[in-house]
A and B are shown apart, each in its own frame.
Chain A
Amino acid sequence: MRLIPLLASLVCCTSGSNTLGRHPDAEECAASPHPELAALCWLAVGTRAASRGQARQAEEACGAVEPELWRDECFFQAAEEVSMAGDLPVGLSFCGRAGFHRGACQLHLAWWARPTSLLEDEGPTPDRVEAALARIRPSLAALPPAEQAPAEALWATALWFDALYGSGRVDPATLEALPAVHGGPARTAFAFEAVRLARAAGDEPLATVAALMEGRAPLEGRALPRRCQGGLTSSPPGPDQRRPTTPVVHGGERLLAEDPGEDLIIASLEALAFHGGATPAALGAWREDPRPAPRATAARLLRLAGEDPGRLPEDPPWLDTWALGADPVEWYRSGDRGSLLCPG
């Protein structure tokens, strides 16, 4: 008969379906003979409630979790679930209670929870993105002061990216007269979509971006279903801290140049790598660019692609740190690698 409570301990606390086809409830969690497993049980109750949009129940369950480690995790997972269920503002408030995981929580929500739901109208403009950021800022106040500006840049990037990437249209007018906080994020999203459209049309991506900025006419092509909006991205550790940077997708970072034209080149090089196009043929010329930032970016992306970027006499010393860092390459939206890029 001992087997029954043991089995119950093992199966009770899953938030998804389990072998017995039932889900834990508060009563079971409170009755758990093992405090360690009670924490997982409450976590399962909290995240399941969150996935159903039951914010109050999720908050109660997560608030009951001991120790702190699992309470933080419960609010983190509940933030993800409730956001995916469509309530991003509640998700943000849960992130504020995720303690040790609050930074990672912001990152996950920014890249997985359709932040464009906060944009009040179709199409991104600085004003609309700014209005959406204003709704996010209160949750950023829970972060330590040093983490607030990076988190804001993260959300600005996610908002621009979510609105532009895969949309099938980029308009150079979008990049005109951008406030400083939106410059890097908007150019990143613009470049990622422009490079995608150019590649789909069989054109040389960086030449296309340059021509686009010169001609000032929009570029249009086929929109992408959201499930196909994936690619390769590098995760932290970030670049040399002496250089200004801006977020790329899912925790990656790129160098940020003061000059908008140079910055768009950097963003386009990153976009090329996102699509698996970081080859010596594509990036070799940029490796010899007179400007340090594009040169360093080309070196880093070649390194990430497993190529040897070489060492040039005029390379600044920080380039080694940037290019040679053990920076793993990951798939953005890696749940279904087979359909990430959805060719054609």
Chain B
Amino acid sequence: MTNRLRPLVAALCWVALAGCDSRPAPGGPCSAQPEGATRDACLFQQAQALAGDLDALRAYIGGVPEPVTRDLLRLRLVASSPSLYQPLCEDVSTAGAKTRCRRVLDRPHLGDPRP
């Protein structure tokens, strides 16, 4: 391989690898959408795709710029599956979300897997 081709191959590899990574980037495709129900639904859907990777999920939510939208996303996830998402309650920052999360964190049985 000549020296001239090396950067091109490297770039192609990077593109290929990035393309294979199905994890949404913070904000991801949703960030292009205007704030509103459609964007909320997009964020929720993208976040759910990260269910098995709490660190990645936290990073994804952290990439959402508005604190209220971040907390709304966290609460929706926790409410949809407390056993999966209960730890997200530790991250909420708005007063209303904290109050609601306290009700979840105080109830450890909500994290019990159901048959």
Contact = CB atoms under 8 A, between A and B. Distances in A.
Contacts of B80: 36
B56 to A, nearest CB: 21
A34 interface: yes
B76 A19 contact: no
Contacts of B71: 10
Given A19-B95, A100-B114, A33 B37 contact: yes
A18 B37 contact: no
Interface in B64-84: 68-69, 71-72, 75-77, 79-80, 82
Contacts of A39: 79
B6 interface: no
A16 B35 CA distance: 30
B32 to A, nearest CB: 17
B110 A14 contact: no
A36 B114 CA distance: 18
Interface stretch (A1-9, A184-192, A285-293, A307-315): A1-9
Interface string A8-42: 01111111101110000000000001101101100
A217 interface: no
A101 interface: yes
B103 A15 contact: yes
A69 interface: yes
A4 B29 CA distance: 25
B99 A73 contact: no
Given A7-B68, A18-B99, A69-B114, A101 B109 contact: yes
Given A19-B95, A36-B80, A9 B109 contact: no
Contact of A11 (B40, B79, B95, B109): B95
A7 B35 CA distance: 14
Chain A binding site: helix, strand, loop or mixed by DSSP? helix
Interface string A39-51: 1100100000000
A2 B35 CA distance: 8
A40 B95 contact: no
A34 to B, nearest CB: 6
Contact of B82 (A6, A14, A69): A69
Given A69-B114, A73-B107, A100-B114, A10 B79 contact: no
A173 interface: no
Contacts of A9: 72, 75
Given A3-B68, A6-B72, A14 B96 contact: yes
Nearest to A3: B68
B97 interface: yes
B85 to A, nearest CB: 10
Nearest to B71: A10
7 contacts: A2-B35, A6-B69, A6-B72, A15-B103, A36-B76, A69-B114, A100-B112
Interface of A: 2-3, 6-7, 9-16, 18-20, 33-34, 36-37, 39-40, 43, 69-70, 73, 100-101, 104
Closest 7 CB pairs of A and B: A11-B96, A10-B96, A36-B79, A19-B95, A14-B99, A36-B76, A36-B80
